[in-house]
């Protein structure tokens, strides 16, 4: 029996669990330098020098419209944008500090523009908020001085309150960087999140205020968290969260899709980052790849979105590819094409039909006790976008594939 709190979580998480794929946006003063969002800290840039960036930042009006349009086109269902990163510059019209986008260079509420863009393109809205703050005068000494801690925590709670009360319904609160304070008690996170939930009863909160809340946030790797715990892997597109033209190791659509598959197969979500240029433009490399992802997902989306189940314990890895699972259907993502015939071993359930999402054609198959043979396939992988062809294997009950101990083969 689920507790009341668990049932409530199920309700608010419903859309999120079906959405699977979101866009992370890192945008701030650091975008103007173009050397990573940690540049202020890593290069020890004096605060007075860095602050000047606030006055000269002139992003294009409503740049977020393009992001939302791209996210939508790429098959993403939600966005999460940095309302304040570690640098401390607030992108919204805050009363807590003058170091904000309305009072300084941009002269506009960039969070408002982002919210409007998400709504226009039917995307759920997430706010990233960094607890760590390199600009706030108490951001460091809060660790040693109780009065400073109280001031800093008050500032933090007030910022979060503003974000949760000024923009209508917000879907996700994505905390980050709980430093230097190291416990939820010191941040007064319970109180803060109770306030958030009062203002936004449907909001989903991540685990980075040092409380578990609604979902875990593995970063830089896609590894399912334990059964029953919701999780979202976040990943850079090119090894930097903030805009950084010299970071040229862009993940290919193929790599991104494999990560998305791993997330979906483990009942998790995948948040892919883009660091827009200071004017708000997306790097060309991101645009090209997002378009490919969108085209691929428009054909193969049913293997990703919706009530996808964990494959763990039900399906086995294969040399030619791997799986997602949804009810009575197993989706085989074939990324290493082996030719006109494909054999999959170990099914204990009976296949009724095989359909190729990529070609839109039914596939011939023969199933014996230990082996499933797909035949009459094209000689080359028919997916021209990412080289990942998906077969839907339809069963009359939940599929089960067991290859048994790895030393075991079959006779004859």
Residues that bind ligand GLC (CB under 6 A): 26, 37-38, 176, 219, 234, 241
Nearest-approach distance from CB 233 to ligand GLC, in angstroms:
10
Nearest-approach distance from CB 44 to ligand GLC, in angstroms:
16
Nearer to ligand GLC, 37 or 109 (CB): 37
Nearest-approach distance from CB 28 to ligand GLC, in angstroms:
10
Nearest-approach distance from CB 65 to ligand GLC, in angstroms:
23
Return d(Cα 143, Cα 179) in angstroms, integer: 9
Return d(Cα 263, Cα 222) in angstroms, integer: 6
First to last CA, the chain: 48
Peptide linkage before 203 cis (omega within 30 of 0): no
DSSP secondary structure of 235-304: E-SSS-SS--TT---PPPHHHHHHHHHHHHHTT-EEEEEE---TTSPPPHHHHHHHHHHHHHHHHHGGGT
Nearest-approach distance from CB 128 to ligand GLC, in angstroms:
7
Return d(Cα 369, Cα 373) in angstroms, integer: 11
- 137 by DSSP, 3-state: which? coil
Task: Return the exposure string of 354-371: e unless at least 16 CB atoms fall within 10 Å of the residue's CB, then b.
Answer: bebbbeeeebebebeeee
Nearer to ligand GLC, 256 or 351 (CB): 256
188: CB partners within 8 A, 6+ apart: 153, 157
Nearer to ligand GLC, 206 or 358 (CB): 206
Nearer to ligand GLC, 251 or 326 (CB): 251
CB 174 within 8 A of CB 126: yes
**Torsion over CA: 125, 257, 240, 231 (sign):** positive
Nearest-approach distance from CB 94 to ligand GLC, in angstroms:
19
Nearer to ligand GLC, 236 or 322 (CB): 236
In angstroms and rounded to an integer, the radius of gyration of the C-alpha atoms of the chain is: 24
Nearer to ligand GLC, 61 or 212 (CB): 212
Nearer to ligand GLC, 231 or 296 (CB): 231
CB 190 within 8 A of CB 203: no
Strands of the sheet containing 204-205, edge to edge, are: 204-205, 172-176, 124-130, 78-84, 21-25, 269-274, 232-235
Nearer to ligand GLC, 46 or 220 (CB): 220
Nearest-approach distance from CB 273 to ligand GLC, in angstroms:
7
Nearest-approach distance from CB 234 to ligand GLC, in angstroms:
5
């Amino acid at each position: 029996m689920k507790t009341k709190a668990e049932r409530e979580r199920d309700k608010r998480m419903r859309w999120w669990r079906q959405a699977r794929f979101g866009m992370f946006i890192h945008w701030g003063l650091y975008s103007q330098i173009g050397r990573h969002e940690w540049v202020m800290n890593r290069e020890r840039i004096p605060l007075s020098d860095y602050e000047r960036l606030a006055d000269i930042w002139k992003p294009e009006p409503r740049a977020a419209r393009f992001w939302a349009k791209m996210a939508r086109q790429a098959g993403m269902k939600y966005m999460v944008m940095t309302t304040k990163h570690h640098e401390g510059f607030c992108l919204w019209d805050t009363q807590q500090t003058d170091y904000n986008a309305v009072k300084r260079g941009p002269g506009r509420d960039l969070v408002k523009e982002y919210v409007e863009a998400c709504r226009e393109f039917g995307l759920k809205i997430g706010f990233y908020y960094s607890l760590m703050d390199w600009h706030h005068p108490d951001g460091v000494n809060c660790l040693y001085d109780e009065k400073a801690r109280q001031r800093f925590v008050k500032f933090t709670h007030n910022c979060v309150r503003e974000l949760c009360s000024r923009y209508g319904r917000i879907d996700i609160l994505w905390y980050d960087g709980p430093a230097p304070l190291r416990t939820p008690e010191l941040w007064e996170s319970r109180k803060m999140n109770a306030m958030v939930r009062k203002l936004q009863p449907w909001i989903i909160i991540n685990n980075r205020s040092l409380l578990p809340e609604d979902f875990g946030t593995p970063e830089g790797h896609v590894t399912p968290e334990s059964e029953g715990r919701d999780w979202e892997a976040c990943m850079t597109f090119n090894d930097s969260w903030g805009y950084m033209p010299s970071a040229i190791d862009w993940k290919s659509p193929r790599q991104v899709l494999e990560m998305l598959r791993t997330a979906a197969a483990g009942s998790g979500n995948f948040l892919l980052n883009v660091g827009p240029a200071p004017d708000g433009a997306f790097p060309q490399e991101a645009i090209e790849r997002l378009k490919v992802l969108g085209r691929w997902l428009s054909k193969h989306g049913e293997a990703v979105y919706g009530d996808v189940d964990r494959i763990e314990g039900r399906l086995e890895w294969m040399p030619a590819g791997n799986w997602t699972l949804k009810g009575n259907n197993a989706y085989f993502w074939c990324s290493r094409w082996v030719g006109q015939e494909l054999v999959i071993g170990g099914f204990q359930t009976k296949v009724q039909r095989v359909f190729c999402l990529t070609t839109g054609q039914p596939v011939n198959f023969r199933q014996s006790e230990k082996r499933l043979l797909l035949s009459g396939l094209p000689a080359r992988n028919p997916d021209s976008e990412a080289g990942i062809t998906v077969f839907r294997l339809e069963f009359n009950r939940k599929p089960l594939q067991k290859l048994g101990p790895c030393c075991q083969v079959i006779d004859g």
